[in-house]
Chain A
Amino acid sequence: MTMSTLAGRLATAAAGLLTATAFALPASAAGEVNIYSYRQPELIQPLLDGFTEKTGIKTNVIFADKGLAQRMQAEGENSPADVLMTVDVGRLDGAKALGVTQPVNSEIINGNIPAEFRDPEGHWFGLTTRARVVYASRERVEQNAITYEELADPKWKGRICTRSGQHPYNIGLFASVVAHKGEKAAEEWLAGLRDNLARKPAGNDRGQVQGIYSGECDIGLGNNYYMGKMLTNEKEPEQKEWANSAKILFPTSAEGGTHVNISGVVMAKYAPNREEALKLMEYLSSAEAQQIYAEANFEYPVKPGVEASELVRSWGSFTPDDLPLTEIFAHRKTASELVDRVGYDDGPAS
C-alpha cells in the first residue's frame, strides 16, 4: 500500500468517524430534561431513575467537576442545559453571579425547601445537606464531643489528617471560620491546625479514615456520608473495617454549630425544556426523592419531616451552624488565600 492510498483511507475513515460521533447526539425533543451536573452520576442516578419512572421524562446528563457554568455561559441562548446540579453552595451562587440562571417561583418547591436553603431571589435551591465532621479513632480518642477551636489545640500535635486545604469541602469549612471569627483569628486557627497535622494533606476524605485505621493519625476531617459509603461497602469489605476504627463527632464552635454545606440545583437561564426542568426540581424536593438522598447517599434531607437513614441517625444529632450559607461562602476567596498563606498544604512545620 502506498502512502497516498493509506492516507486516503485513513482520511475517509476519520471523516466517517467524525460524522458518526457528531450526530450520535440525543435530540432535545419534548419529554426530556438536560442536566449539567457537578455531582457524581452515581449519586444522582437513583433520583433520575425515580423521576423518569414517575413522569416518563427522559434525563440526559453531562458530569464534570469544573467549568460547566462557563460552558453554559459560552453556549449562550442555544445552550441545551436545563438545570445545573452542584455539590456546594459556592457553585450555586457562582452560577447565579455568572448570569446563567433564572429565578424559579414554585409553591411546591418553596413548600418543601426551608427558606435558609434557598436563594431569596429564587435562583438556587438546596436539596440535601452534609455535615463536615470529625472522624475520631475509637481506640485513641476518648472524648465524644469536640469544638473546631480545639482542632488548633497543641494537644492534637501530630494527630490530625485532612485532605488538601484547597479542596472545596475544606475551603467551605475554613470560610465559615473566617465568617465567624474574622480573617486574623482564622489565620491563627488555621496555622494551629496545620501544626497539628500528622502529615502533609493528601488523598480524599476516605483516605483520612484509612489514616486513622493505620494509626497514622487520631482524628480526620471529612463529610459525614463517606462514612456511610464505607460502612456499607460490600465489594471492598476492608473499608468497613477502616470505617469501624473511627467514630463521628459533630464539632461545634463558640459561635455556632456544625459546618454544613448543601448540594443543590439551579435552572438554566435559557432552559429549552423549562416545564420538564421545573418538574424535575419539584420532584427532587419531594418526600420520595428526599428519602432516596437519605437512604442511598447518607445525606441529610432538607425537607422537614423526611428522616435521615437509620445509619446516619445512629451517629447522633447535631445543630447546624446557623450563619447563612451565602454569608459563609462570601469568604471562600479569603479562606483559599489563608490556606496558601499559612502553607497549610505543606503540612506540619517541623
Chain B
Amino acid sequence: MTNATRMQPDKTGSFRVPVAEAAKGGALTAISRSDLVWLVFAGVVAGFMLLPVASLLVMALEPAGDVWGHLIGTVLPRSLVTTALLMLGVGAITLTVGVGTAWLVTMCRFPGRSIFDWALLIPLAVPTYIVAYSYVEVLNYTGPVQAAIRAVFGFKTSREYWFPEIRSLGGAIFVMGFVLYPYVYLTTRATFLLQSACTLDVSRTLGAGPLRLFFQVALPLARPAIVVGLSLAMMECLNDIGAVTFFGVKTMTFSVYDTWVNRSSLAGAAQLACAMLVIVFALLWLERHARRRQRFHVTTTRYIGLPSYRLTGARAGFAWAACATPIALGFAVPAWPLVDYISRRFEALADPALLQATWNSLTLSLSAAVMTIVVATVLTYAQRVNRNGGIRLLGRTASIGYAIPGTVLAVGLLVPLASFDNALDDVTERLFGFGTGLLIVGSGAALVYAYVVRFLAVAYGQVEGGLGKVTPHLDMAARTLGRNSLTTLREVHLPLIRPVLLSAMLLAFVDCMKELPATILLRPFNFETLATTVYNAASRGAFEDGALPALLIVLVGLVPVILLARTSAATFRNRRGSRVS
C-alpha cells in the first residue's frame, strides 16, 4: 500500500486538499497572462512534436489496397502474440534486473557496490542491433562457445549436440532484456535514493524487515518511476527492427515493413503503425488509471543517509553476482567479438571518415539531447501551470514518437517538412526572385527534429517525474512572493530538478548516439554517423568491418552514462551531507 505518502484524491475523488487548489496559480477562471503565454508556447511545441504523427494519420487515410484481409487473416494473430511475448519477456527481465539491482546498490553495502552503482548503466550504451549481431557471433556454430563444446566432447557437426538457438524469440527477449534493463535501473535507483528517508525509517520503526520494506513500502512508492523505465524498455521492443529482423522474430514492426516494402502499401504500413500507437496509448492509460488516486511527493527536504543493510559472506557474494551478471551479459559478452575484430583492423582507426562520423554523431546527439530536455521541460511544466486534463493529455501524446518504427516516423516527418520547404521556396522565389530550395529536409536540423520526436519520451518521463516530486507548496509560495510562472520555473523548479534534467539529457544523448533508422533516411549527402557506418558494413554482410564504429558508439555512450551515475549520486551525497545536522 502507498498510504505512507500523502494521498490526495484528484478530481474524481471526494475531497481536495486546499494546497493543491492554490498551487494551480489561481483558479481556472483567471489564468494569468504569463501562464497563458506559457500554455500557448507549450501548445505550439507539442504541435511540432505531433506533426509526424498527424502526417502518419494522413498517410493512413490513403487507400491501402487490399492489405488488411491478409494482415488480419494471417499476419496479425501471430505477430500480436509475438510482440506481446517479446514485450512481456523483456518487461520481466528489465523489471527484475533493473529494480533488483537498484535496490541492492542503494540499500545494501557490499564489496564493489560503489562501482556497480554506475557500471550497471553501461549496457545502455550498447545498441540492440549491435548486441544482436554480437551474440550471434559468440553463440553460433563457429563462435567460441560452441567451438569449446565441440573440443571438449569431440563433436564434429552441430547435429550431434543440442545448443539453444539465439536467433529466436527467446534469444531476442534475453538479448534485449539485458541491454534495456538500465532504463528501469536508472529511474528506479533515482527514486530509491530520493524516497523520503522518513517513510522508510517509519516503516523500520514499525518493525518492517528488509523484505517487507522492499515489497510493501519501497516498491509501491517507486511504481511511477518503474513504470517510466519499463514503458521505455517495452516501447523499444515495439519500435525495434534491427535486432528482431536479425533474430527472425516477426513482431508487428516487422509486418509494418513487409507491408510497405514487399506489398508496396505505405498506407497499409501507416495504418498498422497507427494501430500499434493505439495499443501503446491503451496500455499507458490503463497503468495511469490504475494508480489515478495516488500522489507521490517528497514531503521533506531532509535527506538523511538511507538505512543500509551491510551484507557479508554468501549474501555479499550473491549481491555481487546479481550486479555483475547483467553487466557481463549486456556489455562484456557483446563487446568481446567487437574487440576481437578490431584487433585485426587497427588501421581503420586512422580513417579520417571515422573521425568525421564520430564528430557528426556527437554534435547531432548533443544538439538533439539539449532540445529534448527543453521540449520536455516546456511540456511538463505546462501541466503544472494549469492542471487541465487536456494539457496533460497533449504532453503525453507528444512523446508517443518513441513507439513508432523509426523509418515510418522519418517518412512521416519528410512529408510536412518538405511541404514547408517547398512552400517557402515558392514564396521567396516570387518575392525576391531566388528560391531557398530545400532548407530543412536533408539538413542536420531535420535529423535533430527527428531525434527529439523519437526520444522525447525518454526525457519526458524523467522530467515529469522530477517535477512531480517538487511539492506544490513551493509553487504557491513563489506565486505569493510575486513570481509568475516563468520566474517560478527559473528560480524554483529548474534548480531543484537540475539532476533530473541532466540525467534526462544524458539518457536522450545516448539514445541519439544509437539512433539508426531515421538517420539513414533523413541524412544529408555524404553524411555518416557512427551508427550509419556500422549499418553500411552490416548491410553488405560484413559486420566485422563495422566493429570499430560499433565499439565507438558504446565507448562514446559510456562517457555520459558514467557521468549520469556519478552526478546523480554526488548530488544526493552532497544534499545529505549538507542537510544532516
Interface residues of A (CB under 8 A from B): 2-4, 6-7, 10-11, 13-14, 17-18, 20-26, 34, 40-43, 60-68, 70-71, 74-80, 94, 97, 164, 166, 168, 171, 199-207, 210-211, 213-216, 226, 229, 235-236, 238, 242, 332-333, 335-337, 340-341, 343, 345-346
Assess the A21–B435 pair: CB atoms within 8 A.
no
* B312 beta carbon closer than 8 Å to chain A: no
The interface-forming segment of B83-91, B187-195, B240-248, B395-403 is: B240-248
Q: Which residues of B sit under 8 angstroms from A66, Cβ to Cβ? A: 257, 260-261, 407, 521
* Minimum C-beta distance from B200 to chain A (A): 29
> Which bucket holds chain B's interface residue count?
35 or more
Q: What would be 26 A-B contacts, judged by CB atoms less than 8 Å apart? A: A11-B374, A13-B366, A20-B444, A25-B443, A26-B524, A62-B523, A64-B520, A65-B539, A66-B261, A71-B414, A75-B441, A78-B418, A201-B248, A204-B541, A207-B140, A213-B142, A214-B157, A229-B542, A235-B345, A235-B545, A236-B341, A332-B262, A337-B74, A340-B75, A345-B248, A346-B78
- The 3 A-B residue pairs whose C-beta atoms are closest, nearest first, are A21-B444, A215-B157, A214-B141
Add 7 more A-B contacts to A211-B141, A213-B142 (CB < 8 A): A18-B444, A21-B447, A60-B525, A71-B521, A78-B425, A166-B262, A340-B258
Q: Which residues of A sit under 8 angstroms from B366, Cβ to Cβ? A: 13-14, 17
Assess the B407–A67 pair: CB atoms within 8 A.
yes
Q: Which residues of B sit under 8 angstroms from A171, Cβ to Cβ? A: 262
Highest count of chain A CB atoms <10 Å: which of B70, B341, B542: B542
Where chain B touches its partner, the secondary structure class is: helix
Assess the B75–A78 pair: CB atoms within 8 A.
no
The interface-forming segment of B228-236, B475-483, B490-498 is: B490-498
Highest count of chain B CB atoms <10 Å: which of A78, A207, A332, A343: A78
Assess the B246–A333 pair: CB atoms within 8 A.
no
The residue in chain A whose Cβ has the minimal distance to the Cβ of B250 is A345
A11 to B441, CA, bound (A): 22
Q: Which residues of B sit under 8 angstroms from A63, Cβ to Cβ? A: 520, 532, 536
A73 to B414, CA, bound (A): 10
Q: Which residues of B sit under 8 angstroms from A97, Cβ to Cβ? A: 264
Assess the B544–A210 pair: CB atoms within 8 A.
no
The residue in chain A whose Cβ has the minimal distance to the Cβ of B366 is A17
Q: Which of A2, A21, A335 contacts B367 (CB 8 A)?
A: A21
Assess the A41–B536 pair: CB atoms within 8 A.
yes
Q: Which of B261, B445, B494 contacts A168 (CB 8 A)?
A: B261
Assess the A210–B539 pair: CB atoms within 8 A.
no
* B470 beta carbon closer than 8 Å to chain A: no
Given A18-B448, A40-B539, A200-B248, A76 and B422 contact (CB-CB distance below 8 Å): yes
Assess the B266–A70 pair: CB atoms within 8 A.
yes
Assess the B445–A26 pair: CB atoms within 8 A.
no
A335 to B263, CA, bound (A): 9
Assess the B411–A340 pair: CB atoms within 8 A.
no
Q: Which residues of A sit under 8 angstroms from B537, Cβ to Cβ? A: 42
* Minimum C-beta distance from A30 to chain B (A): 15
Given A213-B142, A336-B263, A67 and B411 contact (CB-CB distance below 8 Å): yes
A2 to B491, CA, bound (A): 9
Interface residues of B (CB under 8 A from A): 70, 74-75, 78, 136, 140-142, 156-159, 165, 167-168, 245-248, 250, 254, 257-258, 260-264, 266, 341, 344-345, 360, 363-364, 366-367, 370-371, 374, 407, 410-411, 414-415, 417-419, 421-422, 425, 435, 437-438, 440-445, 447-448, 490, 494-495, 498, 501, 520-527, 532, 536-537, 539-542, 544-545
Q: Which residues of A sit under 8 angstroms from B495, Cβ to Cβ? A: 2-3
Q: Which of B74, B140, B168, B247 contacts A214 (CB 8 A)?
A: B140
The residue in chain B whose Cβ has the minimal distance to the Cβ of A10 is B370
Assess the B158–A214 pair: CB atoms within 8 A.
yes
Q: Which residues of A sit under 8 angstroms from B525, Cβ to Cβ? A: 25-26, 34, 60-62, 80
Assess the A21–B262 pair: CB atoms within 8 A.
no
* Minimum C-beta distance from B353 to chain A (A): 11
A205 to B407, CA, bound (A): 24
Q: Which of A21, A204, A207 contacts B364 (CB 8 A)?
A: A21
Highest count of chain A CB atoms <10 Å: which of B78, B158, B247, B341: B158
* Minimum C-beta distance from A116 to chain B (A): 23
A41 to B167, CA, bound (A): 28
A171 to B259, CA, bound (A): 13
Q: Which residues of B sit under 8 angstroms from A94, Cβ to Cβ? A: 264
A41 to B407, CA, bound (A): 19
Q: Which of B168, B262, B374 contacts A200 (CB 8 A)?
A: B168
The residue in chain B whose Cβ has the minimal distance to the Cβ of A91 is B261
Q: Which residues of B sit under 8 angstroms from A206, Cβ to Cβ? A: 541
Q: Which residues of A sit under 8 angstroms from B246, Cβ to Cβ? A: 202-203
Assess the B443–A21 pair: CB atoms within 8 A.
yes
The residue in chain B whose Cβ has the minimal distance to the Cβ of A174 is B262
